[in-house]
Amino acid sequence: MSSRAAALLCCVITMLLAISSVHASALAARLQAPPVAPASAQTMLEGITVTVTALRALVEVGEPIEFTIRFEGESAASARIDIGETLEDASEAASEAASDDTTTAIEPDPNAPVDPSTNATPVVVRGTFDVLKLTQPVRDDAGVWTAHLTLSCYDAGTITPPSITVQWMSVVGSDAQERDGLVALPTIIIQSIVGETYDSKQFRDIRGTVEIIEPWQLWLWIISTVVVIAIVACVVYFLTRPKPIIPIPAHVWALSELTRIEAQALPAKGEFGGYYDALTAVVRTYIARRYEIPADRQTTREFLRAAQTHHLFPATQTEQLRHLLRLADLVKFANATAERSECDLHLAQARALVELTREVAPLVDDAATNRAIGSKAGVS
């Protein structure tokens, strides 16, 4: 087993042991606690007695708290329970009062007036009660009205729920009158499953709040990112793109090379082979570029034939080109010698060939240009 798997197994076992210890402590506290008798509260109203009994006076946090409500009295012709105002409003007030995370407690309000008709004193309660179920009173054969109420609470401690409002029809002789009053609920002990005492301030969330990103914010972020990447890519491209190579005209290159060969003064050094080799290479390359003749793959005879048959090559230069190339072959391959004057003459002939056959930019017809400009001006 790897170290990572072993560490994960240890974490799982630790969590299980912690959960088991919590449940064991809660179970032990429940077993050690003395049995609690059902709690009840009795309220005397005009002509009737209302008794509220809690089926269990000791419950755990979140467990249903069931009450049985009995209306006894000969004058009660009907009965109804209204918790739409009393219990819900008291619960909301209790939630606001408990916002300071203090321990759940009950404290009578000494300034609250006593209702003379109900003899019930309002109680300020800290704790929130949820109404899970309410069954309206039903009369049995003995004339007793019985109702059932189920609440729940997630606060721990000894808590008394708020009083509830009841309505009944009082019949005395031939006189029937609808009355209402407040009925107190018994005190309930709500036990925490995490132990007898705890400090809620010690509990915290596993992580902080998570900001929810709206879809339009996500798309805005994606579009902005794409735009920034595109701008950066364009800047990098324009800064690193290869510079355009402007081709040098063939005649400019040839004249420059001929000047370089002349400056080397190879005939004066007796290097006739190297001189004619360089001279003919410049001439062949120039003609190949100027007239698009593949001179590098042709012999001297094939090259001369291709130049003679080209329709743009001047016929007056054919004989001079043939003489230059053949003399160069004799010097290179037959070890023939040449005079310095001949070398200078052949260099001058090569330069004259380039100057004569150089490509000239087409002349612009000024008259045609003026006519075109005038026609555009007339149209506008």
Of residues 230 and 358, which shows the higher confidence score? Answer: 230
- Residue 131 is predicted with a pLDDT of 86
Q: What is the pLDDT of residues 177-220, one digit of tens each?
A: 888 889 999 998 988 776 555 555 565 666 667 777 788 888 88
Query: Per mean pLDDT, which range of 10-14, 44-48, 105-109, 302-306 is the poorest?
Result: 105-109
Q: How confident is the model at residue 70 (pLDDT cuts 50, 70, 90)?
A: very high
Q: What is the pLDDT of residues 214-237, one digit of tens each?
A: 888 888 889 999 999 999 998 888
- Residue 186 is predicted with a pLDDT of 92
Shared-domain flag, residues 126 and 39: yes
Q: CA-to-CA distance for 30 and 165, rounded, in angstroms? A: 34
Provide the CATH number for the domain around residue 92: 2.60.40
User: How many domains does the chain contain in total?
Assistant: 2
Of residues 62 and 51, which shows the higher confidence score? Answer: 51
Residue 370 falls inside a structural domain: no
- Long-range pairs for 62-67: beta carbons < 8 A, 24 or more residues apart: 62/152, 62/153, 62/154, 63/152, 64/132, 64/150, 64/151, 64/152, 65/150, 65/151, 65/152, 65/153, 65/161, 65/188, 66/148, 66/149, 66/150, 67/148, 67/149, 67/150, 67/151, 67/185, 67/186
- Residue 147 is predicted with a pLDDT of 93
pTM: 0.39
| Average pLDDT of the chain to the nearest whole number | 74
Residue 7 falls inside a structural domain: no
- Residues with Cβ within 8 Å of 358's Cβ and at least 6 positions away in sequence, in order, are 249, 250, 251, 290
Residue 21 falls inside a structural domain: no
Shared-domain flag, residues 74 and 182: yes
Q: What is the pLDDT of residues 149-177, one digit of tens each?
A: 999 888 888 888 888 888 888 777 677 78
Of residues 215 and 125, which shows the higher confidence score? Answer: 215
Of residues 343 and 372, which shows the higher confidence score? Answer: 343
Asked if residue 89 has pLDDT above 60, the reply is no
Range of the domain at 96: 31-198
Residue 13 falls inside a structural domain: no
